[in-house]
Every structure is written in C-alpha cells, then in structure tokens.
Amino acid sequence: MITGQCRPSQTVIGNARRLGGDERELPFQRNAMKTGPDPEIRFLYASLGEVRPFDETTLDTQIPLSRPTGEEASPSVLTYRQYLHGVRRFLLDNWKRVIATVSEICSTDFPAIDRIDIVVEKHGSDYHPARIEVHAVDCGPSFVANVAVTDRGRSRLSQDFQFLRLLRDRYDRDFVPAAYFMGEAAVNGREASAERLTMFLGEWLAGYHEFHLSDAGPGVPPATVLWDLSTGYTVLTEQEAADVYRQAAFILSYYYDPVAFSEIYPWHHASGDFVASRADGRIRVKLVTVREYGPRILFEEESPENALEALLVFFAHLTIRMRLDRFDGVGEVAWADDHCVEATVQGFLEALKEKVDTGACDPALPTELLRVARCLSPRELVEVFSPALEAYHENSPDMPVISEHLADHIFRVYQTLQQLPPALEFG
C-alpha cells in the first residue's frame, strides 16, 4: 500500500544528514537474527525506478519527518538504520502472524520463506511506509509496513488501521487495502526521537501510484500525471483523468451510509489518499487511507428530509473537494478542469444506483435528490453548497481557490445535472 503525503525516498536520502547508530552491520549480511530456518532479511531502497542496497552512509542518514514542501523540514534524529531495524524487529516479533498471513495469501499451510526484503519507498508527514517483499517457494507476496514516528502519526495510524478493517468487514467490495495486524517495535540507538515505532502490516497495492495535477502552462488546463516511479511519470489523457475522478467519486459514495450518514473524511488528493493503476488499457483506482469514518452532520430525529439534506451536502462537498489538489503534490493549490465535474457526478450516481440495487439505499432518496437538485436554479444551488463550504477554515489555503471558482463550479454542476444520460436516471 502506498501511503498518503508521500514523496520518493531517493530525494530524501540524497539530502539527509548523517548520524551515528548503535547497530553497525551491512545490509547484505545475514541480518535477520537467524535461528534455524529464519530467512535472510535485506535492507533496500527504491531510487529512480531501481531497488538498491543501503550502504553504511545511507544507513546513517536521517529519515525525513515531513514531506518536502519547500519549507524547512521537521527535525529528525531517527536514522534509516534505526528505522529498518525497527521494521525488522516488528516482523520477527510477529513472526507467527506473518506466517499466517503469507499462508492465507499463498494458500499453503507451511510457506517456505527464503528471504524478506525491506524496501524503503517513500516518506510522508504521518507515515513512513516500507515495502515488504516475501520470497517464498512458489509464492512471493508483497506487503506494506506503515510506520509512524511522531505522536500525530501514531494516533492517525491507529485510527486508519481500525477504519480500514471496518470497511473491509462491512462492505462487499474492496476499494481499500487489507490491514492485517498492528504492533510496536523498539528503536535501537541513543539518539532516537522516540523509544518505539508504531506500525501495521497491510496489503501492498502493486502497480498503483499517486497522481497529481501538474501545471501545463498559461491558459492550458492542468494535466493529471500518474507518478509511476518504475516507468516514469505519465500524463493521462482527458478520458483517463476523467475515469480517475469518476472512480474516486464512486469509492467515496460507495462507502457513504445513507442511513447513518457516515462517510470517509477528511481526504485530499494532495495527500495522495487515492492511487491509480494504468494497466491493460484500463484505469483502476483505490483509496489507501481512511483517517476518519463517521457522520459529519447530525439530526435530532430520523426523517426523509434529513436524509436528503445530508446527501445533498455530501454531494456538494464531493464535487468541490474532488477538484482540489496541489501542483505536483506539494506546490500551490490546484483546481481540476471541468471534465472533473461530469466524472464526479457520474461516479456519485453510479454508486447510488449500486446501493439501490443491493438494498443498501431506499430508491426514493436518490430519486428525490435528482428532482430537487434539478428544480433549483444555479443561484438557488448556492444554498446547497453553503454547508459544504463550512468544512473549510477561513484561513485554509484551499479557500481562495474555491472562492475564485465557486460560481462557475456550481453552474457546471447545474448543467451536468440537467443533461444526465438515461443510464444515470432513477425511477
């Protein structure tokens, strides 16, 4: 699983300062504390589409504790050596659970694991994920160890773990990765910023990558770029970009509970919360993190009117937030082109239709939503969007961009609702 607010690790390694560590050993020594059949565990890092071994210099550099935004990075006294030994200790301390997870995936009772590679991939402000490559006989699954170093990261990691498991258990379709088990590991080294690392083992989404808007120049709509570090960054076609937004909107709407009003929030494209795969001529999208899941609007009593109001607010907020990003993930706030609106509305309605078909939503609710939304003029739709705007702090960097585009955005939503194809109609 690729985690939000992440950037390629090679940039960090190249610019990090060196620190000493207590555990001095080369990565290609048999450093898994082998006893009997225990596998070799190697320390590697991804760089420019290649996987390379750590040497003593890179092992003693500090890991970044924040994503690179052009601002001064958070101070770090945790080295890659300490980080990697913490991940290794986590795997060894939970070896029975590792074996059980590999057994389930490989459909074998006694997987013969020869080697495990711990590959440092990216770093974010909350998580520091490592890809765990298991080399077993006739099977080679990969996992992610999502690692939290800061107090805020630990808190969010625990919530993320619980919500990922909740959604996997509650819903039939899996648009979020599996989360297998959670634990802690001691950090060795006198200069560590914390005594223990908190992490969980999750599903690695092979072939999925972050995507972000990129400035295409004056007067040109921003391009949607897929960050495939193995083959290079790829500019998606307008249709491919629309499909990304459609599927992202579908996922969020699929997990929206029209009875309890529970939804996934907060989320943001700039944080890399969604990832996409471009393979076999198809776009596939997944959501990799769930910070919170619950109702954002509460009523004293249940009624069809309240359910409609909650769904309208969800819809308005979805159409706005789907257009927000940061250029190249860390630059100025970016606003997606108009094709994002049509794609978002389509994904939203497709998810509602699936909910109706499976009995998870009263068909009267989306039918009434479309009736009401279409009866409103663009000026009247402003009142529908007003509660959604309250989710943003007045000093949020998103607000000036939203305010600049809001009138045109509402009119585009109005046009889209008026021109729906028959396949998206209800009733």
Give the pLDDT confidence score for residue 15 in this predicted structure.
Answer: 36
pLDDT at residue 22 in the model: 41
Calpha distance 209→172 (Å, rounded): 24
Structure tokens at 356: 């109706």
Whether the CB-CB separation of 163 and 141 falls below 8 Å is answered with no
Q: Which residues of 126-172 form beta strands (DSSP E)? A: 130-136, 142-148
Residue 375 above 90 pLDDT?
yes
Mean pLDDT of 246-254: 98
pLDDT of residue 31: 36
- pLDDT for 67: 54
pLDDT at position 165 is 98
Query: Tokens at residue 260, please?
Result: 């309890």
How far apart are the C-alpha atoms of 26 and 29, rounded to whole Å? 6
What pLDDT, on a 0 to 100 scale, did the predictor assign at position 13? Answer: 43
Whether 138 and 106 have beta carbons less than 8 Å apart is answered as yes
DSSP string of 76-138? Answer: ---BHHHHHHHHHHHHHHTHHHHHHHHHHHHT-SS--EEEEEEEE-EE-SSB--EEEEEEETT
Three-point CA angle 421, 426, 427, nearest 5°: 125
Which pTM does this prediction carry?
0.87
Residue 335 CB contacts under 8 Å (≥ 6 apart), including other chains:
222, 323, 324, 325, 401, 404, 405
In whole angstroms, what is the distance from residue 170 CA to residue 182 CA? 20
pLDDT of residue 33: 35
Q: Is the pLDDT of residue 246 over 90?
A: yes
Average pLDDT, the chain: 86
pLDDT of residue 345: 98
Q: Is the dihedral of CA 254, 343, 226, 336 positive or negative?
A: negative
Tell me what pLDDT residue 10 has.
38
Please determine, for residue 109, whether its predicted confidence score (pLDDT) is greater than 60. yes
On the question of pLDDT at 99 being above 60, the answer is yes
**What value does the mean pLDDT take over residues 122-126?**
75
Question: Shortest CA distance to 212 belongs to which of 182, 241, 171?
Answer: 241
List, in sequence order, every beta strand (DSSP E) within 234-303: 234-235, 262-264, 274-279, 282-287, 293-295
Look at strands 40-47 and 113-120 and give their pairing: parallel
Closest by Cα among 28, 33, 27, 109 to 60 = 27
Residue-level length of the chain: 427
Q: Which residues contact 196 (CB under 8 A, 6 or more apart)?
A: 86, 184, 185, 186, 187
Residues of the chain with CATH 3.30.200.20: 7-203
pLDDT, tens digit, for every residue of 178-203?
999 999 998 864 444 456 899 999 99
Structural tokens at position 177: 């990765």
Cα-Cα-Cα-Cα torsion 74, 80, 84, 86, nearest 10 degrees, comes to -50
pLDDT in tens, 270-295: 999 999 999 888 999 999 999 999 99
Residue 297: both structure tokens together: 């609007």
- Work out the average pLDDT over 310-337: 96
**pLDDT score for 231:** 77
Rounded to 5 degrees, what angle do the CA atoms 307, 313, 315 make? Answer: 100
- Sign (positive/negative) of CA torsion 262, 267, 273, 277? positive
Residue pointed to by tokens 């699983």? 1
Rounded Cα gap, residues 265 and 98, in angstroms: 31
What pLDDT is attached to residue 75?
Answer: 52
Tokens of 242: 């629309």
Phi, psi of 188, rounded to the nearest 5 degrees: -90, 135
pLDDT at 24 over 80: no
Q: Is 179 exposed, middle or buried (0-12, 13-18, 19+ CB in 10 A)?
A: buried
**pLDDT given at position 188:** 67
Confidence category of residue 20, pLDDT binned at 50, 70, 90? very low
Q: Which of 268, 276, 250, 290 is nearest to 168 (CA)?
A: 290
Mean of pLDDT values over 296-304: 89
CATH architecture of 7-203: 2-Layer Sandwich (3.30)
Max alpha carbon distance in the chain (Å)?
A: 73
Give tens-digit pLDDT for 45-80: 987 778 899 999 989 998 877 655 444 445 557 899
Task: Give the rounded percent of residues in the chain with a pLDDT score beyond 90.
Answer: 66
